[in-house]
A and B are shown apart, each in its own frame.
Chain A
Amino acid sequence: MSAVPRSAADPDADVVVRATDIAKVFDVSPPWLNRVLERKPRSLLHAVDGVSFEIRRGETLALVGESGCGKSTVARLLVGLYTPSRGKVEFFGHDLREITTAQGRSLRQKLQMIFQDPYASLNPRWRVGQIIAEPLRAHGLMKDPAQVTARVDDLLKLVRLSPADRDKYPHQFSGGQRQRISIARALATHPEFLVCDEPTSALDVSVQAQVLNLMKDLQREMGLTYLFISHNLAVVHHISDRVGVMYLGKLVELAPKKTLFAQPLHPYTRMLLDAIPDLEMSGRARTPVAGEVPNPLNPPSGCTFHPRCPHANERCKREAPATRVIVRDAHSTQVACHAVEEGRL
């Protein structure tokens, strides 16, 4: 049930989330006294620096990147845990910051999050039943305790756990089971959009398979839309429809999954794909990866990837590339790279 009725002719009717040029700057400066006495400068961390994308209903958009690329910050910006320093996040056409009215609050129920650490994201002092019922109480959705219990039981069954588990504590469950409890909690308010921040990274591979299968089943059964953050390209390949690659706070490439994996454009994407260990043991030749991710507090000039890029030229050192849309075989890729733009790649 969508909060805003829209005309069928509206081409944006299908867009659940739209991020427009969002940025988040953290001030990590030393205290004023230290700055004055030790002559230290202010220090600003541009965790996210101008990211734009949209996600349509029923779609899974994956955001990949290595440490410090800003993908977790984007996740938190999207659910409103952080306020953007610039740009806006729109949910069903409404700016997230303007959601203060009752209508706005009902919109917030549609938006939920699943976190990476199954051991930190559940309150160890609450029983599982209370944890799952918390969103219902917070949003004032159900008052009658019998109704709440019935809903909790339904949710537990939905994630393939048993209603008897409602009286247990989180420590009595394994990592994979705790993630299912997090998923049950996220589904309590009938959300339409789930932000999943590395939900399977802390899990063993066979448990990961169970959780990923569950997430796909639920998406199909309930028409959910996912933003899936991960550093694991194989998992992303399995679960996503479109993939965005982030580097030092910027989106360097965004394309449909098959296009990105088969014909990556940006040199960083190619480098990442090349770095995936070859389980098929095809003996493919790998180009060695150069360097490491620079300190985000002191990023390189121009295109921040240029020190590691085999195709960098003078322009790359001076000028940050703008995002262009390249269309191949009716699929469009957003990419920010001078070499691609100049036809050098």
Chain B
Amino acid sequence: MDTPLLEVKNLRVEFPTRRGTLVAVDDVSFALAAGEVLGVVGESGAGKSMTGSAIIGLLEPPGRIAAGQVLLEGKRIDNLPYEQMRRIRGRKIGAIFQDPLTSLNPLYTVGRQLTETIVTHLDLSAAQARTRAIELLADTGIPAPERRIDHYPHQFSGGMRQRVVIALALAANPRLVVADEPTTALDVSIQAQIISLLKKLCREHGTAVMLVTHDMGVIAETADRVAVMYAGRIAEIGPVGDVIHRPQHPYTAGLMGSIPAMGHETERLAQIEGSMPRLTDIPTGCAYHPRCPKAFERCQRERPELLPAGASHAACWLHDAGSQRRVA
């Protein structure tokens, strides 16, 4: 069974505007194996949330997939009509977003929302669905689930609501869960609880996770592999330990250097000068070259592809043995 669960090939997401077309995701490709956790990390504007939305089919118009393919279990899902995609969403792909208040309908009880998902995607009666919903709430650590199933979202605290959202995402036993900043809005002690819950449940169900976040710490704890995005492109992708401890792309190295670490004491944090380019001003060649301490002539002209670099792949000409490069 060598077909990856999810394959993204040359994905391009565009936003037509009055002043021209903005490219939010520019030729992004990666694959996800069954049961794997892939972290997609990047700062604001890197395009990571857009990639997640494009995969689930929830891009807000006028944003659209302009090129490329998204394949789930070998079949294309990016070009499906709305009804077919709706059936896949929920059944095969679950989604967890940042703000549980927007993921849950405030007008319906939690039980109603869970049973609706279960009945839509699985062949169960209403009574069976309710039993399953209570089990799901119990699995996500909500105390007294048989009572809380009839509560409304506003009757839960933030951390509890996010557990309900996780239960909802896993309700129909999807193969893949796309989680977009699932713990950012939560307190740090609750974050730890939610992360370990997500890991445990996904491991138990064999569900693959695409975890989109700006928080490297969460990635370090949860992911098997990680993709670092910059200006709509993947800068580096590889096993999580390698990317964090042996970054191959200057941007990843800069990012890791700027995170205050508890292990050692530094007077100054390594800082990357400047800021991520706006979508209207993406530099030619390698998008990172204006800020890169190791940029050379080729970086301004040609956009690098992902090249093998150590145990990972990095989109950086420093790793192309054939090109002339300055000694670091």
Known: A277-B218, A279-B244, A288-B193. A233 touches B262 (CB 8 A): yes
Total interface residues on A, using CB and 8 Å?
38
- Name B residues whose Cβ lies closer than 8 Å to a Cβ of A: 43-44, 157, 159-160, 187-193, 195-196, 214-218, 220-221, 240-241, 244-245, 254-255, 257-263, 266-272, 275-276
- Determine the chain A residues whose CB is within 8 A of the CB of B193 once the complex forms: 288-289
Question: Interface stretch among A76-84, A191-199, A234-242, A337-345?
Answer: A234-242
- Determine the chain B residues whose CB is within 8 A of the CB of A281 once the complex forms: 220, 240-241, 244-245
Distance (Å) between the CB of A178 and the closest chain B CB?
A: 12
Distance (Å) between the CB of A301 and the closest chain B CB?
A: 20
B159 touches A66 (CB 8 A): no
- Determine the chain A residues whose CB is within 8 A of the CB of B220 once the complex forms: 277-281
Q: Assuming A209-B269, A277-B220, A279-B261, what are 17 further A-B pairs, CB within 8 angstroms?
A: A205-B43, A205-B216, A206-B254, A207-B275, A238-B266, A238-B269, A261-B262, A272-B188, A276-B188, A277-B191, A277-B218, A278-B220, A280-B261, A281-B244, A289-B190, A292-B157, A292-B190
Give CA–CA (A226, B189) in the complex, Å: 26
Give CA–CA (A233, B261) in the complex, Å: 10
Q: Does A29 contact B (CB under 8 A)?
A: no
- Name A residues whose Cβ lies closer than 8 Å to a Cβ of B: 66-67, 174, 176, 204-210, 212-213, 216, 231-235, 237-239, 261, 271-272, 274-281, 286, 288-289, 292-293
Cross-chain contact of A209 among B221, B244, B270, B276 (Cβ < 8 A):
B270
Cross-chain contact of B272 among A66, A206, A216, A279 (Cβ < 8 A):
A206
B268 touches A216 (CB 8 A): yes
Give CA–CA (A255, B262) in the complex, Å: 17
Cross-chain contact of B214 among A205, A237, A278 (Cβ < 8 A):
A205
Give CA–CA (A122, B272) in the complex, Å: 25
Distance (Å) between the CB of A172 and the closest chain B CB?
A: 11
Known: A289-B192, A292-B159. A209 touches B263 (CB 8 A): no
A234 touches B196 (CB 8 A): no
- Determine the chain A residues whose CB is within 8 A of the CB of B157 once the complex forms: 292
- Determine the chain B residues whose CB is within 8 A of the CB of A279 once the complex forms: 216-217, 220, 244, 259, 261-262
B44 touches A289 (CB 8 A): no
- Determine the chain B residues whose CB is within 8 A of the CB of A206 once the complex forms: 43, 254-255, 258, 271-272, 275
Known: A233-B262, A279-B216. A210 touches B271 (CB 8 A): yes
Distance (Å) between the CB of B280 and the closest chain A CB?
A: 13
| CB closest residue in chain B, given A177 | B275
| CB closest residue in chain A, given B251 | A206
Some 18 contacts from A to B, beta carbons below 8 A apart, are A205-B216, A205-B258, A206-B254, A206-B255, A209-B258, A212-B269, A238-B260, A271-B189, A277-B195, A278-B217, A279-B244, A279-B262, A280-B220, A280-B262, A281-B244, A286-B192, A286-B196, A293-B187
Give CA–CA (A259, B43) in the complex, Å: 33
Distance (Å) between the CB of B100 and the closest chain A CB?
A: 13
Give CA–CA (A275, B269) in the complex, Å: 23
- Determine the chain A residues whose CB is within 8 A of the CB of B191 once the complex forms: 275, 277
B271 touches A289 (CB 8 A): no
- Determine the chain A residues whose CB is within 8 A of the CB of B272 once the complex forms: 206, 209
Cross-chain contact of A234 among B221, B254, B257, B260 (Cβ < 8 A):
B260
B275 touches A277 (CB 8 A): no
B159 touches A276 (CB 8 A): no
Known: A281-B244, A292-B157. A275 touches B258 (CB 8 A): no
| CB closest residue in chain A, given B217 | A277
Top 10 A-B pairs, shortest CB-CB distance: A277-B217, A209-B258, A238-B260, A204-B43, A209-B269, A66-B187, A275-B192, A275-B189, A234-B260, A289-B189
Give CA–CA (A238, B218) in the complex, Å: 19
A216 touches B275 (CB 8 A): no
Known: A233-B188, A289-B192. A277 touches B221 (CB 8 A): yes
Give CA–CA (A281, B239) in the complex, Å: 13
Distance (Å) between the CB of A202 and the closest chain B CB?
A: 10
| CB closest residue in chain A, given B269 | A209
